[in-house]
């Protein structure tokens, strides 16, 4: 490893994406490597939400549903996100949480499959998929008479047979950063007669995604990670147009009605993906999310998501090389793929002892990553605001924590509720 701190500063000086960092409120003295869990606050978000509160709500009151376009926000913000995930206009809506949207689209996928092939009784997913996805799938499997089959990543394709109704995967694994090849697995699922549901929580805004190009069937995603929408930001749902009108999603609330303000006592689903809306849009949260999405779209003149991806890979390669060179002998084991083609925008190391405490010691030093049970130290690299010198300095802090044994202090070994 020949990299030095001065070399990292040179990389930052020549980085064409570096002006994008100015879009964010970044606390002094903090190296933030957790944008894969919660994105940084966009500078525009505070004033935009204040405008919604003081003017649109405070003065215009209920008139703002029309005059300020509140009623159209799920579709308007959805169209912006659609450009980042390879979807078309009018195909993606912003609403609810990732878990709720997964319930909607997985329900639809199961109903569509059962209508045409009732013998298909399996939902296949990855054993280390994010737990909320597995919990939702488990609940639906019990309710609808399906069987949830979990497999290691390398074994998934071999399970796709005539018994499978739906293949449900998260594009980038939250624990390891491994990225599935969406196109290949979707083709394999379709060849077996199954539908696909993709969770883009760790993909949207971080890696190139082409839902239409991959011929995917359904997708959901998160608004508060790489899209910088703020804590608890609304999520999104996408349905391929060939499926959008085939099923009443189970949470058939009034905003998914074809004419909500007719106030009919009987449900009539809206055309297309609009039927995947449910309750009243969360206007304040949507306003903040739109600011976050705009920070990603600001990269378009500089090369867009492809340029962000190149920088992300360079940052994560550098971090891996520095940790393995400078922290050798301290028990860290890389669990993220080295191959750029199958790595998301994070790097994860496992350690048999003290993983949680090491992360807490780093946080106390201003290097914010996170811990994932039972033994994962996870670091996300958001190229919009992460610098190469941040990578160097983060590894220096990690080395000091390991060499000094600082992580053994009692204060770093007391588990907080959120890890």
Q: Give the residue from 354, 360, 319, 353 showing the smallest Cα distance to 336.
A: 319
| pLDDT, tens digit (0-9, with 9 covering 90-100), for 69-126 | 999 999 999 999 999 999 999 999 999 999 999 999 999 999 999 999 999 999 999 9
CA distance 350 to 96: 33
CA distance 208 to 244: 24
So what's the architecture of 5-41+304-412 in CATH? Answer: Alpha-Beta Complex (3.90)
Residues whose CB is less than 8 angstroms from the CB of residue 31 and which lie 6 or more positions away in sequence, other chains included: 366, 367, 368, 390, 393, 394, 397
| pLDDT, tens digit (0-9, with 9 covering 90-100), for 358-371 | 999 999 999 999 99
Taking the CA atoms of residue 359, residue 363, residue 369 and residue 370 in that order, the dihedral angle to the nearest 10 degrees is 50
Active-site amino acid positions: 130, 199, 224-225, 378
pLDDT of residue 3: 87
Residue ranges of the chain whose pLDDT lies below 50: none
Mark 162-196 as b/e (b = at least 16 C-beta within 10 Å).
ebbbbbbbbbbbbbbbbbbebeebbebbbebbbbb
**Whether pTM exceeds 0.75:** yes
**Residue limits of CATH 3.40.640.10 in the chain:** 69-297
Give Dmax (Cα) for the chain. Answer: 70
Could you give the strand order of the β-sheet that contains 370-372, starting from the edge strand earlier in sequence?
333-334, 346-350, 376-380, 370-372
Question: Looking at the domain covering 69-297, what would its CATH class be?
Answer: alpha beta
CA distance 74 to 92: 9
Burial (0-12, 13-18, 19+ Cβ within 10 Å), 272: middle
DSSP label at residue 416: P
CA distance 377 to 395: 13
Complete DSSP assignment for 136-151: HHHHHHHHHT-EEEEE
CA distance 233 to 295: 15
pLDDT of residue 2: 74
Supply 83's token pair. 């450009």
Determine the distance from the C-alpha atom of residue 393 to the mean position of all C-alpha atoms in its chain, rounded to a whole number.
Answer: 26
User: Under a CB-based contact definition with an 8 Å cutoff, are residues 205 and 227 in contact?
Assistant: yes
**Residue limits of CATH 3.90.1150.10 in the chain:** 5-41+304-412
73-85 and 283-297 are packed helices; what angle lies between their axes, rounded to 10 degrees? 30
């Amino acid at each position: 490893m020949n990299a030095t701190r001065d070399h990292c500063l040179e990389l930052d000086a020549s980085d064409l994406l570096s002006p994008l960092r100015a879009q964010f409120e970044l606390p002094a003295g903090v190296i933030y490597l957790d944008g894969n869990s919660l994105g940084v606050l966009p500078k525009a978000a505070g004033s935009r939400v204040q405008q919604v509160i003081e003017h649109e709500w405070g003065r215009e009151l209920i008139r703002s549903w029309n005059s300020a376009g509140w009623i159209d926000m799920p579709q308007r913000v959805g169209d912006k996100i659609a450009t980042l995930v390879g979807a078309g206009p009018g195909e993606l809506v912003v609403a609810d949480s990732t878990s709720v949207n997964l319930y909607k689209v997985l329900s639809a996928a199961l109903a569509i499959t059962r209508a045409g092939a009732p013998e298909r009784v399996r939902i296949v997913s990855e054993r280390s998929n994010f737990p909320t996805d597995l919990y939702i799938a488990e609940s639906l499997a019990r309710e609808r008479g399906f069987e949830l089959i979990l497999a290691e990543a390398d074994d998934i394709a071999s399970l796709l047979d005539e018994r499978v109704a739906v293949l449900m995967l998260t594009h980038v694994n939250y624990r390891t950063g491994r990225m599935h090849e969406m196109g290949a697995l979707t083709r394999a699922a379709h060849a077996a007669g199954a539908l696909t549901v993709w969770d883009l929580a760790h993909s949207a805004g971080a890696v190139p995604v082409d839902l239409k190009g991959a011929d995917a069937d359904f997708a959901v995603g998160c608004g508060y990670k790489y899209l910088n929408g703020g804590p608890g930001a609304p999520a999104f749902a996408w349905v391929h147009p060939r499926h959008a009108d085939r099923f009443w999603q189970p949470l058939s609330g009034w905003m998914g009605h074809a004419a909500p303000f007719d106030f009919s006592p009987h449900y009539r689903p809206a055309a297309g993906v609009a039927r995947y809306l449910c309750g009243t849009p969360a206007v304040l949260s949507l306003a903040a999310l739109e600011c976050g999405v705009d920070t990603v779209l600001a990269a378009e003149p500089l090369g867009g998501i492809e340029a962000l991806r190149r920088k992300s890979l360079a940052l994560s390669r550098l971090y891996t090389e520095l940790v393995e060179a400078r922290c050798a002998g301290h028990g860290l084991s890389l669990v993220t793929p080295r191959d750029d083609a199958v790595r998301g925008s994070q790097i994860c190391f496992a350690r048999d002892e003290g993983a949680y405490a090491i992360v807490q010691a780093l946080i106390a030093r201003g290097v914010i990553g996170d811990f994932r049970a039972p033994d994962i130290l996870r670091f996300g690299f958001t190229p919009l605001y992460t610098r190469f010198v941040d990578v160097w300095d983060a590894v220096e802090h990690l080395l000091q924590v390991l060499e000094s044994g600082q992580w053994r202090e009692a204060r770093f070994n007391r588990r907080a509720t959120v890890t």
